Amino acid sequence: MLKRTIFLLLILFSSPFTVFSKDIDLDSAYKKYHEILLEGLNSPEVTIKVEAIKILSELNDKSLIPEIKKFLKDKSDLVKIEAAKSLFKYKDKAGTAVLSEILKSRVKVSFDDTPVKRARAMAKNMICAKAALALGESSDPSVIPLLNEVSKEKDGQIKDSAITALIKLGDKTRLKVIISGLDNDEMSVRVKACQILGDLKEEKAKSKLMEFLKYWDKGVRQAAVIALGKFGDSQDGEAIRALLLDKEEDVRAGAAEALGYIGDAKYVPQLKSMLEDKNGFVRLYSAESLYKMGDLSGESFMTSVLRMDDADARLKSVQLFSAYGNVTNIEFLDDAFLTEKNELVRLNMACAIVKIIERERKIK
């Protein structure tokens, strides 16, 4: 049975740090928090159920496949979509038909409809767009005809998702539609195009993304710098680094995130300096990028975030511990779990502890 004494430094903004020490039985902790993740599958809240399915699929436990398959019959389409995506990770295509049916249920949105009817149609189509995007992860060529049909329709969100899915399945015939979005008059369309093309690492878009680093709209600048970072090309590092000084905090956060994708350790000093930024999310993304480069300078700040009022910040911090943390972080996560009231954050705390212990076991 794995047992060790864990020491953790908790550093708060204006308080001197305190040292905690207690025995942590890693086997018992794993069992406790893994059970909490399983309990999340029975939550009446769709958001929690979806998150539980997503997290459990990341543990690569094939024994969970039968349990996940049950959710293909859930009353919530969002739950069905997440279950199908999770099964795809196990090379199981059982969710393909379910996603196809959701996509086929899309509705036409008309400006002649009442505001309520139009809002419902748009909400429905947002879910259909998620289903279309998920089909891109299926590795199933049988869905290509349906995606091709949808990719030619007018609804932007569904069309873009269908085209992205087709590209992931190897069909780039409609790629130019996404690239043309970079020149659209609507800033939201440009932002979405940047996001998609960055995820796809589409070289044809790279020069335009570089231009957008100096664009007047902050949303476009942020989307472009993150997209450019996802190419992982160190030659773009200096152009990205320059945006650490942008006047807009969202753009600075995007630049910090992008440098993590570049992964060049020469930017560690600049990222360390960003840990002093006035915006918490700039600091969190800087801490994440430092983690990726093997530097733990941001860990004390991440720990302090778990005591903040901002649930989104707490969630981001917990997710970083989940991805990069080690056993020295377990005690504070365990302690924070006891007082955390946000169910989504609690679930991710359980995930972080489970993943940290799994990493420790692999080391052993």
> If you write DSSP's letter for every residue of 78-110 in order, what string do you get?
HHHHHHHHHHHHTT--TTHHHHHHHHHT-----
Cα distances (angstroms) measured from residue 133 to each of 84, 162, 282, 305: 12, 6, 29, 33
pTM of the model: 0.89
pLDDT band, very low/low/confident/very high, at 319 (cuts 50, 70, 90): very high
346 inside domain: yes
> Are the C-beta atoms of residues 262 and 229 closer than 8 Å to each other?
yes
Q: Average pLDDT for residues 204-232, to the nearest whole number?
A: 98
Q: Interhelix angle for 156-168 vs 115-135, to 10°?
A: 0
> Has residue 273 been placed in a domain?
no
Contact by Cβ (8 Å): 3, 25: yes
Q: For residue 173, what is the enclosing H or E element?
A: none
Do residues 152 and 68 both lie within one domain? yes
Q: Which of 102, 136, 167 is the last residue of a domain?
A: 167
End-to-end CA distance of the chain: 12
pLDDT at 5: 33
* Domain presence at residue 202: no
Average pLDDT for the chain: 92
pLDDT of residue 153: 86
**Residue 22: its pLDDT value, please?**
58
Using CB atoms within 10 Å of the CB of residue 62, give its burial: 0 to 12 exposed, 13 to 18 middle, 19+ buried: exposed
Say how far apart CA 110 and CA 93 lie, in whole Å. Answer: 34
User: Residue 16: pLDDT band by 50, 70, 90 thresholds?
Assistant: very low
Whether residue 109 is found in the same domain as residue 31: no
For residue 240, pLDDT beyond 70: yes
Residue 112: pLDDT over 90: no
User: In this model, does residue 2 exceed pLDDT 70?
Assistant: no
Q: Does residue 128 sit in the same domain as residue 97?
A: yes
Residue 193 lies in a domain: no
How many domains does the chain divide into? 2
Mean pLDDT of 31-54: 98
Per-residue pLDDT tens over the stretch 127-142: 999 999 999 999 999 9
Share of the chain above pLDDT 70, in %: 93
Vertex 79: Cα angle to 230 and 51 (nearest 5): 55
Instruction: Tell whether 88 and 32 lie within a shared domain.
Output: no
Q: What is the pLDDT of residues 247-298, one digit of tens each?
A: 999 999 999 999 999 999 999 999 999 999 999 999 999 999 999 999 999 9
* 64 and 158 part of one domain: yes
Q: Is residue 323 part of a domain?
A: yes
Structural domain that includes position 134: 60-167
Compute the average pLDDT of residues 160-171.
Answer: 96
More confident residue, 5 or 157: 157
**Any domain includes 132:** yes
Q: Are strands 18-25 and 3-10 parallel, antiparallel or unpaired?
A: antiparallel
Domain boundary among 120, 140, 167: 167
pLDDT for position 331: 94
The answer, yes or no, to whether residue 312 has pLDDT greater than 80, is yes
Residue 327 falls inside a structural domain: yes
What is the predicted pLDDT for the residue at 323?
A: 97
pLDDT given for residue 12 in this prediction: 34
Percent over 90 (pLDDT), the chain = 86
- State whether 83 and 31 are in the same domain: no
The answer to whether residue 143 is domain-embedded is: yes
Identify the pLDDT of residue 347.
98
Q: What is the pLDDT of residues 199-213, one digit of tens each?
A: 999 999 999 999 999
What pLDDT sits at residue 157?
87
Q: Are residues 30 and 87 in the same domain?
A: no
Q: Are residues 32 and 89 in the same domain?
A: no
What's the confidence (pLDDT) of residue 18? 35
Q: Where a domain ends, among 133, 167, 201? A: 167
What kind and span of H or E run contains 150?
Answer: helix 144-151
Residue 132: per-residue pLDDT: 98
